[in-house]
A and B are shown apart, each in its own frame.
Chain A
Amino acid sequence: MPSKVYVTGLGIISAMGAGVDETLKSFSTGKTFVRHPEILKTLLKDQFPLGEVRFSNEELKSLLQIKTKQSYSRTSLLALMAAKEALSSAGLLESPLGIGVISGTSVGGMDKGEYLYDGFIRRKGKFNLHDAFVHDCGDSTNKIVEYLGTRAYSSTISTACSSAANAIMLGARLIKSGKLQRVIAGGTDALARFTLSGFRSLMILSDEHCKPFDQHRKGLNLGEGAGYVVLESEEILDKENRTPICELSGYANTCDAFHQTASSADGNGAWLAISQALELAGLYPNDISYINTHGTATPNNDLSESMAMKRVFGEIMPPFSSTKAFTGHTLGAAGGIEAVFSALSIRDNIVFPNLHFQDKMDETGLIPQTVFENQFEIKHVLSNSFGFGGNNSSLVFSAC
């Protein structure tokens, strides 16, 4: 019988703040933290509100006590903040040896790379050649390994918006197969002009605060951040007599295989991912207490995801919400940030609200949870992350 996999630590940084406690306080304000950027230097700053982390790179380095002149992309600084908190909250910061690190990212060090390219190739503006070493996806993972001193297995996944969810899924599979006992898994992405311009070119950015699942939704708000969970085997928790936050009871990775940037109208890939994750968890749809949706507020995703949810849950739809109205869409970090939210949902019996919802979608008639709720016991949470290229991943967390 493969070992169960438990969540024992949480770490997060986003527009809502640094750390779990600050994030929960931010949720209680009931207001979005998406606003026009102050740190990202972009000509589009007055046009699009973004979920920007309120710390500059220098401030992050200071918080992390990084004094070296080595290049750090913003993506890796965000990763370090969240990964450190996760390990600390699991009580493992002083004993990091042997802990696997699996991280997802889609931006990598592009926040630095785009300046390097402009300066070195196009001869416009200042650049630092050393930034070339931090451009690739693997760099932020290596920085986590180095900073935490794990000196063990590490890997980097890059599957757009499902990167972190896939990283967490891999972590669980490696633990179940006995290859690792402990893993830090999640993802990170920083804002970059490249990405902002890219999403704009797709015409899926909203110039207002996004409205997930609303009939009049106009698109997403881009965000940044990092979210990591510490996963541990049942065996090691039994041996050390420690109590986990919750169990990672199910997961699935499927492919929509429809179009590079659009999901199929009937949400086929999403339906498969949700169904398979539930099956692995040994759960029926009506066992789910809360769904933390992908809910980017694009016309396409929210319809596709709603259709998939209807196919799985039928008439008995659990409370669901998109927390992206608070944080923005953090791309490669989303699955990790939302895994943290899912674990908190179980730990504190919370259903997070879906901000800015006014009118239900004509096609589905679904109404998300619009107010903060903590009166009911949360037993099982489904978290969806659906990325470009049809990479659909779902995770199920369970109370234990």
Chain B
Amino acid sequence: MTIKTFKLPLGIKIILGTSILVSLFGIITLFLVTSLVRNSLSDSKRETITSALLEQVQETSHLLDTASISAKLLSESGEVITYMDHRSPIIQDKKILDLLNSFGIGRGLSAVYLLDSKGLCIVSTDSTFLNNNYSFRSYFKNSISGRQYEEMAIGVTSKKAGFYFSSPIFGQNNSIVGVVVTKLEPETIYENLASSSVNQYGNFMLADSDGVVIYSNNKDYVYRSLSRLSDKQVQEITQEKKFLDKKIAVLDFADLEKFVIQGKTNVNITEVYNQNLPNQKFLLAQKVSRHPFYLISEVETGNVGVTAGRIATVVGGMIGTAVIATALLQILFLRFMFAPLTKLREYAQKLATGRLEERISISSGDELESLAENLNLMAENIKSKYGGLEERVVEDARELHSTLKTVETKNNDLEKASKAMLNVMSDLSAEKDRVETILTSIGDGVFVTDTEGKITMINRLAQEMSGYREDEALGKRYTEIFNFRQEKSPDEPYPDFVNEVIKTGQIGAFEKKTVIVRKDSTIVSVLDSVAPLIDHDGKVFGTVTVFRDSTRERELERGKDEFLSVASHQLRTPLGGMRWGIESLLEESLPKETKETIDQLYGNCLRMIHLVNDLLNISRIDQGRITDVPVKTNLKNIINEVVNDLLPTIEQMKLKIRFDIRKPVWLKIDPHRFQEMFENIASNAVNYNVPGGKVVISLKQDAEKVVITVRDTGVGIPKKDIRNIGTKFFRSQNALQVKADGTGLGMYLVKKYVSAWGGNIKIESQEKKGSTVTISLPLAVKPLKIYE
């Protein structure tokens, strides 16, 4: 972009604007000037004319004054009054005549005369008037009525125009006795008028009160009327003024009636424009003061117009020149003005493109200079503050870009993860629904607690069995909802098994014969277990308890219980009877064969009893009806007792028993059950031994467990049978041979007990060499809750 392109539009605007303004102004001025000029010209002309007219008026008035004053004076003269009062008829008093003459001669009066009350001229300086009757004259008519009067009239005798001035003479008794009249030859007036400067302006007239032109520098105007007169008026005037052969024609002036009327009321100047004439005319009229005559100047304005036009042309020319000059000056000025602006613009461009080092200098001594300085300062500031900003920004942008890329990638990953999450969640949700359905349909009551034992989940059955609804149960401690009690001792508080499970992290089971006392106080027997909920880190975060209405089972068990009791009793009774019966028989002296038979009978009987006992025991074990009252038990004592009970067989077989027991071992365990278990092991060691054999019993305890070992030198167990030892009713072949009446239930019981206690059993054996049974029990023996 060049400078020109920038500069001219703005410049042109300015120039055009100014030019238009100036032109407008000029044109307005022109018109104003023109009209002003015209007006002033008119005015000045008017003024000039007016003043000339006024001057003339004075002169004319003055001239006329003489005559009128003379008349008045004379009328008031005593002599005249006396004369008129007492005169003798037709005698012309010389004295009076002299008096009249004295007035007349000095003053240019062509005649001074007296009229009597009838209008007869009785004294006159002009003898031709004597004895004429002038009662027809207006001046007589007016004066005899008491008024002073002036008029122009045509003389009867002279037949020439003349000015007549009359004044009434008042007699002694105030009646009018006569009239004094003075006559002025009009030449005086006319000459005076002819010499007036008013003549130069145009037609100049003297008119009377009727509007008839008496004198004019334009002969055509004489005896013309300045107003539109009616015929009657014309007739009168003609008669009065005796313009005998002169016709009175109206002058072609518009609205002069107004003038005439106004003239009579003493308005000084009237302007009349005759619009019909090409050159505008105007009239200036002035009443001759104190006299009923009017001086009128008719002026043509043509000159004025021409002059005005000339002036306008000149002025117009001047204005035009001014406009052009202004425009040219402006162009120059603007060029000068715009230079710094251009500089500024260029500078701003540089700054905008980041060239902050540039500076500008303008020395125009005005706002532009200060602007330039400020721009420089600004550039300086920006440079110091933001220099190098661009590089930093670019760097930042790069970093940002790479960050954005990373974010994008992460975002994508996130999206994928989120999608995966959603899938998982929907799966979870489906799973959750499944679980819920399962839990709802499950035949057991289930409730889940947190680590404080507060219920976080409770299924439908649990709600029914507790008697509380889900909304009542959630969030409450389980003990508030499930009123567990021991059936046998309902007043005792039930142990906090949830808490126990949370602490130990071990699965637990209900006490036997647990019941729930429902909300409505009905009782339901329940049976079941609590398990800890363990998270990935092995931390317990809650528990789940499953239980069911065991009323039927309880009944069944009660039935079984009863059965057992009854069965045991019913079976044992005849057996017991048989035993004692046979024993009694054996005390008799019997023949040898009889005794042998009865011995065998006795043996069978004992076997039967043994079997029944075992069966009943096993039944009890199978049903978990074993009572288990763990107490701190001295195992050594029990072992000793068991061995004692086996002494008969031991002595019979001449077995050697060795104890490897260093110190007493105490274990919290039910002594009866431990005895039962050990009995079985020990009796096997004894019964399946060889005569003169050995049994070694050892009892050891370390930090974690107790180990009981029974080693025998018996017949051993064939390798293939070792794993079957402990199976219900199993007896290996070689054992059968040794002791036909074994039940095969002993080891079953041992295994059941040991595993229930949380221990383990190891059986090592070699056929014909012997067997070793090793039982290890944890120090914290688990309660015996055995289920098949």
A, B co-complexed? no
Residues of B within 8 A of A (CB): none
